[in-house]
Structure 1
Amino acid sequence: MFVIRPIQEKDYPELLKIAEESGHGFTSLPVNEELISNKIKRAEASFKSQVSEQPEEHGFLFVMEEVATGKIMGTSGIESAVGLEDAFYHYHLGKVVHHSRELNIYNTADILTLCNDYTGATELCTLFLREEFRKGITGRVLSKFRFLFLAQHQERFSSTVIAEMRGVSDENGDSPFWQWLEKHFFSMDFPTADYLTGIGQKVFIAELMPKYPVYVNLLSEDAQAVIGKVHKNTEPALKLLKSEGFSYKNYVDIFDGGPTVEANIANIHTVQNSDLYTVEIVDALDSDKNIIISNTFVEEFRATVAKTKLDQEQKIITLTQEYADILKVKGGDQVRAAVLK
């Protein structure tokens, strides 16, 4: 049994360990003690924030905690609006046509153009489940609970929701895509560039990145091969997001070439299929259906999963007192819930 809750200052040691375990390419959680401490403080402030007319650049960071032991199993986050304070870069993969009527030659070429097209979008980020807990449904829940939070508090977020997928790199952190950029435009390796971005030092991107579109066929074959491809450890996360209605619109990461996927918040399957239900306390649950459940709070947000029943007509959900306590609700309160598919 586990609970997902907002991160707290007491979680700092575990979050630092998670940053170390996550490895290269996990840009949103670099191994930097000051930054991780500030990340927790920012998250605490975000959960306490009031709703504004426009989405602000808040960072909602959650942890999954094992109820019996208090162990932190993983983390997951949402950035409400990216790029409002620091530039948010992508490459857009497009095409250019070279055509000569006189010579009857017609060629198309793929090009990568540096852009800030996702400025203001909401980003799903910082998803990491520790290896010992990677079994059963925990990974799916750690990703999907965020859609209940988005559904319940849509006024805090953009209509466009994105997720950057980790691109291809080896166990040493070497990225084929970055190696080409490093050779021609930068003098630093991929882990260093990735780390600098993670701690917010992005000026070097504008200073050193090629200002004009890059013809893909000028890249090395290894670099071309990984554009829009994900790291092997990221394949399950991408599959899950695609099942929720996210799609790839030819935007890739500027460092490793990994794909960014997007969806309209109203079209995300779990958002569409979730609803508010009134809690009814029972002695025991009798169902084989996994239901992902969250309360309706922000600062005191809690989420979990239970094998229980949803009465679709009367909008009632049955919970034992143990689950109600985990969710910080009581009989008669409302929760948001959806079937975990």
Structure 2
Amino acid sequence: MMIIRYIHPQDVNDLYTLAEKAGFGLTSLQPNMEKLAARIQRACDTVAGKLDKVDQVYLFVLEDTELKKVVGVCGIEVALGLKEPWYNFHVGTQVHASEPLNVYKSLPTLYLSNNHTNCSELCTLFLDPDYRLNKNGKFLSKVRFLFLSAFRQYFEETIVAEMRGYSDENGHSPFWNAVGHKFFNIEFTKADYLSGVGQKVFIAELMPRHPLYVDMLPDDARAVIGMVHPNTMPAYNLLIGEGLRYKGYIDIFDGGATLQADIENLRAMKESQIFTVHIESAENINFQDEPFIIANDRYENYRAILVYNQPKKNTLELSTEQAEQLHIQDGDQIRLLTVNIQGKQ
């Protein structure tokens, strides 16, 4: 069975394996054992209530319970930019006009911005390629929305998600070559790594503070502003379906889109439902074609599974095995969210 739970310190070796498979582009998951162990501890201390908001992060893992192996990870940072600045570019507009000369030009610009300070962030989503089947990817990504709906009080007003920008098969980023590389004589993959191990602020502080005119950039760099990497497009579409939108903010390194939404407007906030559990023999349970994510809503020991069980009014029948995985008993309540959005698969 596949189950999602909080990350534990003993997961560090499996997390390191996932980081090696992730490659460049996922800055929050780098194969550095010390950094990974520290981030796991930060997540554990968050759940234990030991950290101030500035340091809080929630990390969840997808575990193959038969192999006792972690095969995916996802996270939520509680509040960005409260300890060190959180940078991105805002795609804005600057107008140049002269009535005597009959000239009017509206020019797109890039402004270095800290506008997402004190926002929560969806982060660190990665699934082992061998497990990208059976709705595992949607399960791993969307469980964060179910968690947000259950524990809304722990998060900020706005949620954001940085999407990986375009780079070619050799790891070359047209946007980095046209902008960042002019101020740092290093390759994009090196800058990406430094960002992932905590040196993003140092790099960002040396980026240009004045607006950059987009029209002065090379064609290939202009073309990728707000784009996402082809491998990231499924994740992009998934987040759009859950209520996030592109509002003109991009990553300072690769130009990838940053999506955002008011948490209150997320689909899970409106559509997740509470059901009472009735434990039944597996052979007596009715199943359906569409899957649900269900979670136990227990903050100290959060667990979620993917099921195809058919709900009955306000009751959901679960097998003994399913109930045991969620650490719940007959009569307990669970929170439910459909995996597929109506009309979409």
TM-score scaled by length of structure 1:
0.95
For 1:91 and 1:9, the matched residues in 2 are separated by 35
Matched residue of 1:143: which SS? helix
- In structure 1, list runs of 5 or more residues that go unmatched: none
Matched residue of 2:15: which SS? helix
The one-character-per-residue Cα deviations of 1:37-82 (angstroms, maximum 9, x if unpaired) are 1011111111211798xx5431111110112221222111111111
1:272 aligns with 270
The one-character-per-residue Cα deviations of 1:293-322 (angstroms, maximum 9, x if unpaired) are 01111231101111112234xx22211111
Shift of 1:172: 2.8
| 8 Å contact kept, 1:109–1:215 | yes
Matched residue of 1:310: which SS? coil
Matched residue of 2:259: which SS? strand
Query: Greater CA deviation, 222-231 or 41-50?
Result: 41-50
2:16 aligns with 16
Aligned 1:203-282 pairs, distance under 5 A: 203-282=201-280
2:84 aligns with 86
Count of residues in Structure 1 that have an aligned counterpart in Structure 2: 337
Shift of 1:270: 2.2
Shift of 1:203: 3.9
What code does the residue aligned with 1:224 have?
Answer: R
- In structure 2, list runs of 5 or more residues that go unmatched: 341-345
2:343 aligns with none
For 1:91 and 1:83, the matched residues in 2 are separated by 15
Aligned 1:122-271 pairs, distance under 5 A: 122-271=120-269
Matched residue of 1:293: which SS? strand
The one-character-per-residue Cα deviations of 1:214-268 (angstroms, maximum 9, x if unpaired) are 1111111111110000001100000011111111000000000000011111111
For 1:48 and 1:159, the matched residues in 2 are separated by 23
2:334 aligns with 335
Matched residue of 1:311: which SS? coil
| 8 Å contact kept, 1:51–1:155 | no
For 2:212 and 2:127, the matched residues in 1 are separated by 36
1:304 aligns with 305
Aligned 1:287-326 pairs, distance under 5 A: 287-288=287-288, 289-312=290-313, 315-326=314-325
Query: 1:278–1:22: structure 2 CA closer, same or farther, 3 Å change rule?
Result: same
Tell me which of 45, 55, 65 is aligned to 1:67: 65
| 8 Å contact kept, 2:84–2:201 | no
For 1:65 and 1:136, the matched residues in 2 are separated by 14
For 1:12 and 1:217, the matched residues in 2 are separated by 46
Shift of 1:201: 1.7
TM-score scaled by length of structure 2:
0.94
Aligned 1:25-44 pairs, distance under 5 A: 25-44=25-44
User: What do you get for the CA RMSD once the two structures are aligned?
Assistant: 1.5
Within the alignment, does 1:4 sit opposite 2:4 as a pair? yes
Shift of 1:147: 0.8
Query: 1:206–1:67: structure 2 CA closer, same or farther, 3 Å change rule?
Result: closer
| 8 Å contact kept, 1:295–1:302 | yes
Matched residue of 1:229: which SS? coil
For 1:32 and 1:99, the matched residues in 2 are separated by 52
Query: 1:311–1:86: structure 2 CA closer, same or farther, 3 Å change rule?
Result: farther
Shift of 1:286: 1.1
| 8 Å contact kept, 2:54–2:83 | no
For 2:117 and 2:201, the matched residues in 1 are separated by 16
What code does the residue aligned with 1:294 have?
Answer: A
Shift of 1:204: 2.4
| 8 Å contact kept, 1:51–1:156 | no
| 8 Å contact kept, 1:161–1:262 | yes
Matched residue of 1:103: which SS? coil
Q: Indicate the percent of aligned positions where both proteins have the same amino acid.
A: 44
